[in-house]
Structure 1
C-alpha cells in the first residue's frame, strides 16, 4: 500500500491511544507461562501482538478473545512440542520465545522476513542459552534459528546488553521456572533500561520474585517458581502516540490523546517532556495529552536511550524546529526492523530535511519554513519509519508518497485512520 501524504495545515479532534504493544506481548507471554487461566483486558491488536498470540497458541496455550479481553490458559514450563514457529517480523516476540522454546526438544524459528527481521542479530541471546546447556543452530546469529533444549539449567549466566535489552528480558521471563537458582550478570552497557523495568513490572504482577541491582546489571532469580494466573489491564501506548503528538506539534492543531497514563513506566512517556522542551503548548492531565500546535518549535538535545521507540517521531518534529537538534545515545536504533539511523536519515534527506548521522546520534538542522517533499519514500518495511515520515509529509510543500505503508500495522494498524479522523490529508492506495 502507498500512502500519499499531502500538506495539511490543521489537525483537530480527540482519539483514544491504542493499547500498548509492549505490555500486551509481555502479558500474553506470562499468561502462557502460568499454570491456570489469566485475563488480559484491552490487548493491543497489531502484527507484533498477533504474532505472540499465534505462537503461544502453537506452543499449547488456549487463547480465547472477545471485544474487550483475552483469556489465556497457560502451559507453564511445559509447552507443546512443535517443530516450527513463525514470529513474522516481530523481533521482541522472537527473542522472548527463544528462551521459552528451550523447554522444547527442538523448535525452528523460520525466516519469514529475510529483508527485515532476517537481517537482525541475536548472537548475545544465543550465547546465554548455550551457557544454560541449550543447543542452538543459527545462520551467523540470524534466522532461521533452531533451539534444541528440553532441560535448560540455571546457575551463573552472562548476557550482553549493548545491542538490545530484549535478550535480558527473555532470560528474566524463563529463568524463574528452572529447577536451579540463577544469577544473571549483564555485560557491557544495557540499552533501554526503562523497558527492562516494564519486564520486571509485569513479572512481579504474576507473583514472581526477582532481585535486581539498582543499576539493573545484576539479577538473582530463585528457581522452582510459578507464574500465578492473574487479571491484567493494558495501558495506552506511548510509542505509537508519539507520532500523533508530533504530527499535532508540527501543524496548527487542537488534538487530545486519551489513555496515556501520567505515571506510566513506558520510557516513551518522555516524548511529552521532549515536546515541552521544544516549546510545544501541551498539557498532560487525567491521562489526557492535549496539544495546541502552532508550528513553532525550538531545537534541543535529548538522550534518546530513554525513549527508543519515540525517537524517530521526535526527530521528525525537530526537522521543523528553529536551530539544531541532537538525539544521542541511540545506536541501538541501528538494530531494529531496519537501520533506523542511516535508512531514516537517507529518506529524510530525500524529503528535503537537513540531517546528519553519527554512529549513535541523529543531528537535525531545523527548517521552520518546511521542506520541499514531492518525492517517493522507501519505508524500509519499518513501522516507526512510516509513522515518522508521515509527520514530515504533513508539513512538506508538495507532500510525500510513502511506499510499503501497510507495514505500519506491525504496531499501529489504525495509525492512518486516526490521522484521517483528525483531518490529515492522506490518500491510501492499495497496490
Structure 2
C-alpha cells in the first residue's frame, strides 16, 4: 500500500558536476493532471483506469481523500490505478479529518467538491499548507451557500458545511489562478444551471480538458486581451474514462535546466506534457538562446506530448512579460537559477502569485540566489536577476521552507556553482518528484545524499 507518512529531513551538499550530463529519461507524471484524474474519476459513474499517475506525497493525499469520500481507489501497479467512482452528488461524508499534507492544489480543488455536496468535512495539512491562504477560494465558494470556518486569515484547518443543492456561480478572478478557477468549476458541477468563470489571463486548462474527457459540457470564449470566459453546464452525467497522465513539464524543467547549464551536456526527457498553457518556461529558455529540441510530438489522453532534448550552450538575459507568468508560475525558481548563469540581466514581471505557493516562493527564491553570491532584487512584483555569464559563486546554505521546487532548484544551482551549495532539506522533493536524486544521478549528476 502506498505511504503518505511525513518524510524525515534529508539535507544535501551539492558539488559541481565533474562530467557532462547525458542520457534519456522520463520524469514522473504531471501533478496537476494526476490530482484531477483521481478527483474526476471519483465523481464519475463506473471504473476509470489511470496510467502514469504521479505517486508523490501530494497526489497520494488526494487518493486518500477520495477514498475517504467513498470512492474505491486502488493501486494495481507502479503508476497504474483503478478508481470506481460514486457518481456526481453522491460522495459520502468522511469519518475523519482530510489531511492534504503539503498540497495546495488538492486542498483548493477539493474545497469546490466539498462545498457542493451536502456534508460536513474538515481539511488540514502540514505546517506549510496550514500557513497558506484559502480565502481566495472560500470567498467565491461561499456564494454556493456553503459555509466555511477557518483559522485567522482563512488558514487551515478549514471546516466546510457543504450544500446538496448549491447555487451556480458567476465569478471573475481578481488574479490569474488555475486553482481558484478549478475550485469554482468543480463546485458548479453539482449546481443546477450554468457556472461562469472569467479569467483576466489564460491559466492552465487541465480542468476544462478533463471535464470534457469525462463528459461535461464546457465552453471557452476569448475575453479582452488574453483573457477567457469558461462556461460549465451543471449536473452533467460524468462517465468513467481512462486517463493517461503525461510527464510533468514542471518536473522536466529541472532536468532540462541542469543539462543546459552543465558544460557539454545533452539530455532528453521523454513524454513531456506540452499543453501550451504550461510551456512558458520552454518559450523563455529559447528566448535566452537555449538549444531545446522537440521531437516525437503526439497526443495522449487529450493532452499534447513530446520528447525534449536540452544541449548545453551560452545563454543571455531575458525580459519575461507578466502575461506569461500563468503558463510557468511553478518554474520561476529554476528559471532564476538559469538566469543567474546567463550573461546580462533578466527581469521576470508580475510574480504576485509566487507569494502564496508552498512558501513565499518569491522571497525564498531571492534568498536562494543571494546566499550563493547572485545579485537579485525585487521591484514591486518583478524579480531582477543579474547573470554572471558563468558559474555562480555558490557556497551558501539554502533554506527550502518545506518547498520541493526550491530544493530542486538549489540542487541544480549546486551542480554549476564554484563552491558547494548546502540544501537544508530535500525530503519534500518527494511531494512532486519521487526519485529525483536517483534520476539526476542516472544522467551523471553525482549527488550524494
TM-score, normalized by length of structure 1?
0.92
Determine if contact 1:161/1:168 at 8 Å carries over to the other structure: no
2:5 aligned partner? none
Give me the whole-angstrom Cα distance separating, in 1, the residues matched to 2:200 and 2:12: 36
Residues 49 and 239 from structure 1, CA distance in 2 versus in 1: closer, same or farther, beyond 3 angstroms?
Answer: same
Deviation (angstroms), 1:291: 1.7
Q: What root-mean-square deviation, in Å, do the aligned CA atoms of Structure 1 and Structure 2 show?
A: 1.7
Deviation (angstroms), 1:416: 1.2
Determine if contact 2:53/2:80 at 8 Å carries over to the other structure: yes
Give me the whole-angstrom Cα distance separating, in 1, the residues matched to 2:32 and 2:253: 14
1:204 aligned partner? 212
Of 120, 124, 127, which aligns to 2:136?
A: 124
Give me the whole-angstrom Cα distance separating, in 2, the residues matched to 1:163 and 1:275: 22
Give me the whole-angstrom Cα distance separating, in 1, the residues matched to 2:253 and 2:157: 33
Residues 79 and 159 from structure 1, CA distance in 2 versus in 1: closer, same or farther, beyond 3 angstroms?
Answer: farther
1:108 aligned partner? 122
Deviates more, 1:268-277 or 1:157-166: 157-166
Matched, 1:88 2:101: yes
Matched, 1:292 2:311: yes
1:376 aligned partner? 397
Give me the whole-angstrom Cα distance separating, in 2, the residues matched to 1:219 and 1:119: 30
Superposed counterparts of 1:256-295, under 5 Å: 256-261=268-273, 264-265=274-275, 267-286=277-296, 287-294=306-313
Residues 419 and 109 from structure 1, CA distance in 2 versus in 1: closer, same or farther, beyond 3 angstroms?
Answer: same
Give me the whole-angstrom Cα distance separating, in 2, the residues matched to 1:324 and 1:50: 40
What CA deviation, in whole Å up to 9, does each residue of 1:273-306 have, x standing for no partner?
2222211223111122112213x21111123332
Determine if contact 1:28/1:52 at 8 Å carries over to the other structure: yes
Give me the whole-angstrom Cα distance separating, in 2, the residues matched to 1:404 and 1:359: 29
1:396 aligned partner? 417
Of 14, 30, 37, which aligns to 1:27?
A: 37
Give me the whole-angstrom Cα distance separating, in 2, the residues matched to 1:161 and 1:409: 32
Of 36, 58, 62, which aligns to 2:46?
A: 36
Give me the whole-angstrom Cα distance separating, in 2, the residues matched to 1:157 and 1:126: 14
Give me the whole-angstrom Cα distance separating, in 2, the residues matched to 1:279 and 1:323: 13
Determine if contact 1:305/1:329 at 8 Å carries over to the other structure: no
Give me the whole-angstrom Cα distance separating, in 2, the residues matched to 1:350 and 1:382: 17
Determine if contact 2:340/2:386 at 8 Å carries over to the other structure: yes
SS in 2 for 1:147: strand
Residues 282 and 131 from structure 1, CA distance in 2 versus in 1: closer, same or farther, beyond 3 angstroms?
Answer: closer
Deviates more, 1:31-40 or 1:306-315: 306-315
Matched, 1:183 2:202: no
Give me the whole-angstrom Cα distance separating, in 1, the residues matched to 2:58 and 2:271: 21
What CA deviation, in whole Å up to 9, does each residue of 1:245-264 have, x standing for no partner?
11111112021111125xx2
Determine if contact 2:134/2:155 at 8 Å carries over to the other structure: yes
Matched, 1:138 2:150: yes
Deviation (angstroms), 1:358: 2.4
Gapped regions of structure 2 (runs ≥ 5): 1-9, 297-305
Of 222, 236, 251, which aligns to 1:225?
A: 236
Matched, 1:2 2:11: yes
Determine if contact 1:317/1:391 at 8 Å carries over to the other structure: no
How many aligned residue pairs are there? 418
Of 340, 343, 348, which aligns to 1:322?
A: 343
SS in 1 for 2:341: coil
SS in 1 for 2:250: helix
Deviation (angstroms), 1:167: 1.6
Give me the whole-angstrom Cα distance separating, in 1, the residues matched to 2:243 and 2:208: 15
Matched, 1:69 2:80: yes
Give me the whole-angstrom Cα distance separating, in 1, the residues matched to 2:178 and 2:278: 15
Of 205, 208, 214, which aligns to 2:222?
A: 214
Determine if contact 1:185/1:219 at 8 Å carries over to the other structure: yes
Give the 4+ runs in structure 1 shifted more than 4 A. Answer: none
SS in 1 for 2:173: strand
TM-score, normalized by length of structure 2?
0.89
What CA deviation, in whole Å up to 9, does each residue of 1:336-388 have, x standing for no partner?
00111112101210011111112321111101232222222111110111111
1:165 aligned partner? 178
1:427 aligned partner? 448
What CA deviation, in whole Å up to 9, does each residue of 1:206-265 have, x standing for no partner?
11002333235544332331211111111111001011111111112021111125xx21
Give me the whole-angstrom Cα distance separating, in 1, the residues matched to 2:76 and 2:413: 37
What CA deviation, in whole Å up to 9, does each residue of 1:192-212 have, x standing for no partner?
x331x2210111111100233
Deviates more, 1:241-250 or 1:63-72: 63-72
